[in-house]
Amino acid sequence: MYTKEDPTFTRAKGGTAEREEPINGIEVPDLWHIAMALNAGSQRVEAFKNGEFVSMLAGDYVLECWHLAHDMKRHIQTNS
């Protein structure tokens, strides 16, 4: 349960789905199964990483985004 005093953040800022949500309500969906399914097909993507383009398995790129989302969530919650 959230109260009006809970700090919030803006989701989809400037978009048609813009809304305020409580920071402690941030949920990062589990993308593990999607990533593993993508990797099973061995599909590769060109990703820009550390200043250069690299070839990665598509599922590994999804997991990279998933880890980033979790890191950002912890940062936001720690610094609010």
pTM, two decimal places: 0.72
pLDDT, one tens digit per residue, over 12-40 is 999 999 999 898 888 899 999 999 999 99
- Count CB atoms within 10 A of the CB of residue 61: 20
Domain ranges of the chain: 8-78
Res 55: pLDDT:
92
Res 26: pLDDT:
85
In DSSP terms, 10 is beta-bridged to: 20
Identify the band that residue 7 occupies on the pLDDT scale cut at 50, 70 and 90.
confident
